Amino acid sequence: MTEKRVVEQHHETFEGIRQFDAEGNEYWVARDLQPLLEYAAWDKFKRVIEKSMEACRQSGNEVDDHFSQTAKMVDIGSGAKREIEDYRLSRYACYLIVQNGDPSKPVIANGQTYFALQTRRQELNDNEAFARLSENDKRLAIRNELAEHNKHLAAAAKDAGVETPIDYAIFQDHGYKGLYGGRGAKDIHTIKGLKKSQKILDHMGSTELAANLFRATQTEEKLRRDQVRGKQKANQTHFEVGKKVRQTIDELGGTMPEALPTPEKSIQQIESAKKKLEKKK
């Protein structure tokens, strides 16, 4: 069985253990996820959960929104039962657990980026409001989210030793080169036919923006999780994450970001048009 098929099989099983509460909200149970990720001992899996909770906290998210401690009754024989510790997990919590799992396990090594990218895709698909948006409104939504996550990425990079504006520009370029097959910011500018003053993120469609959002969020988490220190290591981390995202897009049969079309209107033009429309109302 190929590595890609192994990943897809585990993904199918992951979706298969999804549950829904009375309000229709999806969730996963940690005790169900444990064997899927090939952890025999609860204590070891719990340590991964705790590490993931810290990553959630470091990313600026409310831990309680994604990790809810619960308990369940299990049979211990002769009709007797006892209460055991458990967690109710959000989709985001699940992929944090996969990201923080033991990479020596095939399901973890093969599934880290796949699970996380599928998580992001499913979040967007499940969000009915987002699904109903036009392409321009999707671009605005993802661009705004990316702007916010870039602040978190900059903070994580600074903690790693990326301090000056020049350092950060080089750091960002490494991320682009990983995601765009060796092409840096200048190359992307050229491909899109942009002026030097124009920001490339403002001239991307929703699919390309989503790939860059994923690159940014995963790099931030990896910098913090692995406690990366030093500019060179931070740059290499950003490049490797970008490269891994590119690899995953390829495995899923997607279009490489540099081959995606450049929208006719920039983010600024879309925002300006929306403001004019609102004034007329």
- Give pLDDT tens digits for 55-97: 888 878 889 999 999 987 777 676 677 888 999 999 889 878 9
What span, in angstroms and rounded, lies between the C-alpha atoms of 81 and 74? 5
The sign of the torsion formed by the CA atoms of 48, 53, 58, 60 equals positive
- Phi and psi of 240, rounded to 5°? -65, -40
Distance of CA 54 to the CA centre of its chain: 16
Which domain range does residue 30 map to?
3-98
What's the confidence (pLDDT) of residue 15?
Answer: 77
Q: Which domain-ending residue is among 75, 98, 121?
A: 98
- Return the SS3 of 256: coil
pLDDT band at 1 (very low <50, low <70, confident <90, very high): very low
Residue 123 and residue 254: Cα distance in Å, rounded? 18
Q: Are residues 142 and 237 in the same domain?
A: yes
pTM for the model stands at 0.61
d(CA 195, CA 217): 27
Residue 241: pLDDT above 60?
Answer: yes
Using the predicted structure, report yes or no on whether residue 274 has a pLDDT greater than 80.
Answer: yes
DSSP output for 88-146:
EE-HHHHHHHHHTS-TTSHHHHHHHHHHHHHHHHHHHHH-HHHHTS-HHHHHHHHHHHH
Is residue 121 situated within a structural domain? no
> Would you say residue 249 has pLDDT above 80?
yes
In this prediction, residues 187-193 reach a mean pLDDT of: 95
110 inside domain: no
Q: Which neighbouring-strand residues pair with 73?
A: 83
Residue 217 lies in a domain: yes
Q: Whose CA is closest to 56, among 224, 239, 234?
A: 224
Number of domains in the chain: 2
Alpha helices per DSSP H over the chain: 3-16, 30-36, 42-58, 63-66, 91-99, 106-126, 128-131, 135-160, 165-179, 185-192, 206-225, 231-251, 267-280
How does the average pLDDT of the chain come out, rounded? 85
Say how many CA atoms lie within 13 Å of 51 toward its Cβ. Answer: 20
**Residue 264 and residue 183 share a domain:** yes
| Inside any domain, residue 212 | yes
